[in-house]
Amino acid sequence: MAIWKQLVTLVRGKAHEAGTSVADANALTILDQQIRDAGSAQAKARDDLATLVAKRRLIEKDVDSLAAQRDKYEASARAAIARGDMNLAREVAQRLATIEADAATKMPQIEEMRAAEERMRAIISGTDTKIETLRREIEIVRANESVQRAQASVAASHGGATSQLGSAADSLKRLKERQAIREEKFRASEELELARTGGDLDEKLRSAGLLPGTSSADDILARLAAPADQRALQDGRRDPLALPRD
């Protein structure tokens, strides 16, 4: 039995948790509907108040009519008494008694209705204030919810963009590394080819001015500074531009 009670309690707890989760997820929709329901109730209350006011005014009209009848019959009773017609005066007096009794019954009703109207007006006014306050709070919450959703979306997008930029930077780094390795391979291949063909030694001799037909800057300056007859001899022997003579 204890296990079954625990299972029932668990089911109730899960149901409550699920219901609370659904309610929280749809809180703004629920609040909007509650505001609409409260507005409908307020409209009904105003209609009831208008009905009460209308009924009270009808009773007041009856009382005014009774007051007019009373004044008329009082004057008639005085006239009958003045003529000595007491039977007629008594009959008018009985009519006056009925009118006054009717008016006496209606006057408290009017007062009660006026008091009820004041209470209803106060309740309606207070409820209107509460509804308006709640409506403003709902709008603030809705605006905050929209802003927070936008912030969450931006944060998610920024996180994704940052991750993508990081991946792109890594890819670029790897590409640069591959290009640097390829460049070094090209340079190493060229050096190996020069070493195989002796091109590297020729380059060194050419730079030193030791290969035939090559002159360093110092050699050219020395030649230009030599005496004319020696320079002519050197020019004839070393000038790589001299044409062969027949």
**How many domains does the chain divide into?**
2
Position 98 scores a pLDDT of 93
Phi/psi at 240 (nearest 5 deg)?
-75, -10
- Which are the contacts of 224, defined by CB distance < 8 A and separation ≥ 6? 231
Same domain, 28 and 105: yes
For the cut 90, the answer to whether the pLDDT of residue 2 exceeds it is no
Range of the domain at 18: 2-172
Residue 180 lies in a domain: no
Same domain, 167 and 204: no
**Rounded-to-integer distance, Cα 182 and Cα 189, Å:** 10
Residue 246 pLDDT grade (very low, low, confident, very high; cuts 50, 70, 90): very low
Same domain, 136 and 219: no
Q: Give yes or no for a contact between 73 and 95, defined as CB atoms under 8 angstroms apart.
A: yes
Same domain, 71 and 149: yes
Same domain, 140 and 212: no
**Rounded-to-integer distance, Cα 108 and Cα 114, Å:** 10
Of 172, 191, 212, the one marking the end of a domain is 172
Same domain, 159 and 224: no
| CATH, residue 63 | 1.10.287
Sign of CA dihedral 40, 42, 47, 52: positive
Of 157, 172, 187, the one marking the end of a domain is 172
Same domain, 27 and 102: yes
Identify the weakest region by mean pLDDT among 46-60, 92-106, 132-146, 209-223: 209-223
Residue 192 lies in a domain: no
**Rounded-to-integer distance, Cα 242 and Cα 213, Å:** 11
For the cut 90, the answer to whether the pLDDT of residue 156 exceeds it is no
- Average per-residue pLDDT for the chain: 75
**Rounded-to-integer distance, Cα 20 and Cα 17, Å:** 5
Residue 82 lies in a domain: yes
Same domain, 48 and 95: yes
Of 172, 190, 209, the one marking the end of a domain is 172
Within 13 A of 205's CA, how many CA atoms are on the CB side? 10
Same domain, 155 and 205: no
Q: What is the pLDDT of residues 157-211, one digit of tens each?
A: 555 555 555 666 676 677 778 778 877 877 777 777 666 665 566 666 666 655 5
Identify the weakest region by mean pLDDT among 77-81, 86-90, 186-190: 186-190
Position 212 scores a pLDDT of 57
Same domain, 114 and 204: no
